[in-house]
Amino acid sequence: METTKDNDVSDDNIFLQLLLEKHNISARQLKGWTGIAESTIYKYLSGERTIPSIIWRSIFAHTHDIAVFNLIAGDVPCIIATISKQPFVLNSDALRQLLMMRQKQLYLEQLILDILEDGRVDSSDTKAVANYRLAFPDMVTAQAQIYQAILNAYSKTETANAKP
């Protein structure tokens, strides 16, 4: 008679199961993303094996689920901005909108820096702080778009210059 070993299913294994369910990811899909055998993926899910980082990286790369990042970051205070797989379109309207957005953001940043410079952050600063908090996610996104646009344009230039 074969005995079944009781598996100590860690939080990571449960978290992996929940992520796959949440994003409707099959073991077969995960196999395709990672090159890891499907049978091994089932061992991660059952708690028989420790989950390697390639699993977490692949899930994060395909879902951008911040919960995967938080698994690693824990309580470390940080902000993450993912770069879209779709290139930022460099046309005059998009650039004009991005410039207007950054000008507003720079104005809000200057207000916050002025508040910090006087050494007092109090109730008189409530509106400025609220506006800054509201705009901050868009600031990070705009910076990520600028970053992506610069890298894409540079990559195209490098590719064009490399051709004989």
Q: Do 155 and 96 sit in the same domain of this protein?
A: yes
Q: Are residues 69 and 26 in the same domain?
A: yes
Binning the chain into helix, strand and coil, the percentages to the nearest 5 are: 70, 0, 30
The whole-number pLDDT of residue 128 equals 84
Last residue of a domain, one of 73, 101, 126: 73
> What is the C-alpha to C-alpha distance for residues 80 and 101, in angstroms, rounded to an integer?
20
Domain-embedded: residue 144: yes
Residue 136 lies in a domain: yes
| pLDDT at position 30 | 97
Domain count, the chain: 2
Q: Are residues 107 and 156 in the same domain?
A: yes
CATH code at 49? Answer: 1.10.260
Give the domain range for residue 62: 11-73
Round to whole Å and give the CA distance between 110 and 128.
10
Tokens for 33?
A: 């993303």
Whether 83 contacts 147, CB under 8 Å: yes
105/148 same-domain check: yes
Q: What is the DSSP string of 59-99?
A: HHHHH--HHHHHHHHTT------PPPSSPPP--HHHHHHHH
**pLDDT per residue over 26-77, tens digit each?**
999 999 999 999 999 999 999 999 999 999 999 998 988 888 888 888 878 7
Domain boundary among 39, 73, 107: 73
What pLDDT score was predicted for residue 164? 65
User: What is the overall mean pLDDT for the chain?
Assistant: 82
In a domain, 87, yes or no: no
- Domain annotation covers residue 3: no
